[in-house]
Amino acid sequence: MENELIKLKNDASSLVIAAEDEQELNEIKLDFLGKNGKLTLLLKDIKKVPEESRREVGMLANEILSSVEELIERRIVEFKGKTREAIKKETLDVTMPGKKPRPGHLHLITQAIEEISQIFAHIGFERVRHPEVEWDWYAFGALNFPENHPARDDWETFFIDEAQHEKHGQMILTPHTSSGQIREMTKGKLPIKMLNIAKCYRRQSDVSHSQIFHQFETLIVGENISIANLKGTLDYFVKSWFGPERKTRLRPYHFQFTEPSFETDVSCGVCNGTGKLPDGTKCRLCKEGWLEIGGAGMVHPNVLKACGIDPEKYTGFASGWGVERVLMMREGLELDDLRILYSNNLDFLEQF
Residues lying near ligand DAH in the complex (CB under 6 A): 176, 178, 217, 255, 258, 294-297, 318-320
Asked whether the beta carbons of 292 and 325 are under 8 A apart, the reply is no
Nearest distance in Å: CB 186, ligand DAH: 16
What does the alpha-carbon distance between residue 24 and residue 105 come to, in Å, rounded to a whole number? Answer: 57
Residue closer to ligand DAH, measured from CB, 170 or 319: 319
The nearer residue to ligand DAH, 261 or 267, going by C-beta atoms, is 261
> Which lies closer to ligand DAH via its Cβ, residue 178 or residue 315?
178
Residue 321 DSSP SS3: strand
Minimum distance, C-beta of residue 113 to ligand DAH, in the bound complex (Å): 17
User: By C-beta, is 178 or 267 nearer to ligand DAH?
Assistant: 178
Tell me how far, at minimum, the Cβ of 120 lies from ligand DAH, in Å. Answer: 14
Q: Which is nearer to ligand DAH, 29 or 152 (CB)?
A: 152
Smallest distance from ligand DAH to CB 178, Å = 4
Residue 255 CB, shortest distance to ligand DAH, in Å, is 4
Instruction: Judge residue 344's burial from the number of C-beta atoms within 10 Å of its C-beta, 0-12 exposed, 13-18 middle, 19 or more buried.
Output: exposed
Beta strands in 223-346 (DSSP E): 248-255, 258-267, 290-299, 315-322
Q: In angstroms, what is the minimal distance from the CB of 156 to ligand DAH?
A: 10
Closer residue to ligand DAH in complex, CB, 273/297: 297
Q: Kindly state the smallest distance separating residue 297's Cβ from ligand DAH, in Å.
A: 4
- Answer left, alpha or beta for residue 116, where phi above 0 means left and psi between -120 and 50 means alpha: alpha
Return the number of the residue (79 or 253) whose C-beta is nearest ligand DAH: 253
Closest Cα partner for 227 from 257, 195, 253, 250?
250
Cα within 13 Å of Cα(41), Cβ side: 8
Q: How far apart are CA 328 and CA 322, in angstroms?
A: 10
Peptide bond into 244 cis (omega under 30): no
- Selection from 142, 234, 236, 241 nearest residue 185 by Cα: 142
- Residue 276 forms beta bridges with which residues? 282
Closest contact distance (angstroms) between CB of 214 and ligand DAH is 11
CA 106, 109, 111, 114 torsion: positive or negative? negative
Measured CA to CA, the distance from residue 1 to residue 57 in angstroms comes to 8
Pairing of strands 290-299, 258-267: antiparallel
Q: Is the CB of 172 or the CB of 296 nearer to ligand DAH?
A: 296
